[in-house]
């Protein structure tokens, strides 16, 4: 049942099956016309399948034992044995390339609608010093305040720990670390879905806790991105500057957006679903190396831990039209998805 005032086209929903059915094997669905719809069993006995339904509408299916009939979705996964250690996953909305040589980061994030590539070793981990504050000589500008010295995990090769490809989703897990940090990142990509999930589990095991751990470094090619939410910073121009607007806050919002005013042709949002250990966010627009003056090349969202040494973070990455309002709608939908329920003995029998 779609309780929203907007239609869903091949929206993926999850249905919890009783243990007696889970043990019986695989299933697919058939609609009232007898047309087969793909389905995929997830952990915990949940069945994943697509539905197309109008606003405030409902649709019924018959659960049929047996694997999903051969059929195509928009989800494709590249060669898992690529010689350069990359893996590309794509659907109708994006193409994402993960790089083993770059710590399992996203080196390409291409919007299918606009053709723009936002990937820039995105979703790296780094730790160390960001700034220096001397109470006897307070900094008067960002150049004096920012004194960055970081260890970057994107410089290390990761190991693929899990690569699963089904008819409706692909899951890739990467592990990377050094003498101080252990990090596992799980990416989940779904068919017919304009966003993908990132789950990061991180532990700092070093003896000297750094000033900050950037648990998620959302570093992107700027393209036309020029304003951020929250904080609404961004003063992008063609001059060479040490920064183009940045701020930080001692809280982590439920959603953050990098956008393209005034037309808002394409925005990039994080919707944060889990934020254990995080206590700070930093957003801004930067040259290639901050705070050295240069043209604006990066749009950045950094999710930071200043006190915790164990972090568990999950979020979705969403390319969309409009601005943060679209991210707020998706957050609502993720917390309150369309209702799917199973009737073991339908009334029409």
pLDDT digits (tens, 9 = 90+) for 18-47: 887 877 677 888 888 888 888 888 888 888
Q: Do 81 and 87 contact (CB within 8 A), yes or no?
A: no
Q: Note the pLDDT tens digit of each residue in 258-274.
A: 999 999 999 999 999 99
Flag whether pLDDT at 307 surpasses 50: yes
Query: Could you give the CA distance from residue 199 to residue 264 in angstroms, rounded to a whole number?
Result: 28
Burial, 123: exposed, middle or buried (Cβ in 10 Å; 0-12, 13-18, 19+)?
Answer: buried
In order, the DSSP letters of 309-326 are SEEEEEEEEEEESSSHHH
Span 290-303, average pLDDT: 94
Q: Where on the phi/psi map is residue 211: left (φ > 0), alpha (ψ -120 to 50), or beta?
A: alpha
| Strand 181-190 to 298-305 pairing | unpaired
Burial, 170: exposed, middle or buried (Cβ in 10 Å; 0-12, 13-18, 19+)?
Answer: buried
The better pLDDT of the pair 45, 109 is held by: 109
Span 201-227, average pLDDT: 96
Q: Do 176 and 158 contact (CB within 8 A), yes or no?
A: yes
CA 277 vs. chain centroid, Å, equals 18
| Straight-line distance from the first to the last Cα atom of the chain, in angstroms, rounded to the nearest whole number | 21
pTM of this structure: 0.93
Flag whether pLDDT at 349 surpasses 50: no
């Amino acid at each position: 049942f779609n309780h929203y005032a907007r239609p869903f086209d091949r929206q993926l929903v999850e249905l919890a099956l009783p243990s007696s059915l889970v043990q019986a094997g695989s299933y697919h669905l058939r609609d009232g016309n007898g047309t087969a719809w793909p389905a995929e069993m997830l952990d915990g006995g949940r069945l994943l399948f697509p539905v197309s339904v109008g606003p405030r509408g409902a649709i019924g299916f018959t659960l049929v034992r047996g694997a999903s009939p051969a059929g195509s979705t928009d989800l494709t996964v590249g060669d898992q044995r690529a010689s350069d250690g990359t893996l590309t996953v794509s659907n109708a909305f994006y193409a994402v390339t993960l790089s083993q040589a770059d710590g399992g980061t996203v080196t390409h994030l291409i919007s299918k609608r606009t053709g723009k590539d936002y990937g820039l070793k995105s979703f790296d981990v780094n730790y160390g010093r960001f700034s220096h504050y001397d109470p006897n000589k307070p900094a008067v500008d960002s150049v004096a305040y920012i004194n960055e010295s970081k260890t970057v995990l994107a410089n290390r090769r990761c190991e693929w720990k899990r690569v699963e490809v089904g008819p409706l989703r692909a899951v890739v897990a990467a592990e990377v670390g050094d003498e101080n940090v252990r990090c596992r990142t799980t990416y989940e990509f779904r068919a017919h879905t304009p966003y993908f999930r990132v789950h990061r589990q991180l532990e700092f095991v070093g003896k000297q806790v750094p000033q900050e751990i950037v648990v998620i470094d959302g570093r992107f090619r700027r393209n036309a991105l020029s304003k951020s939410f929250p904080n609404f910073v961004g003063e992008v121009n063609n001059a060479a500057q040490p920064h183009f607007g940045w701020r930080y806050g001692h809280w982590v919002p439920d959603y953050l957006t990098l956008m393209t005013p005034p037309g808002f042709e394409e925005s990039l949002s994080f919707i944060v679903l889990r934020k254990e250990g995080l206590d700070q966010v930093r957003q801004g627009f930067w040259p290639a190396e901050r705070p050295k003056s240069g043209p604006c090349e990066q749009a950045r969202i950094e999710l930071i831990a200043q006190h915790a040494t164990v972090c568990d973070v999950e979020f979705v990455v969403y390319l969309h039209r409009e601005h943060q309002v679209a991210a707020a709608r998706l957050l609502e939908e993720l917390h309150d998805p369309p209702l799917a329920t199973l009737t073991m003995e339908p009334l029409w029998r």
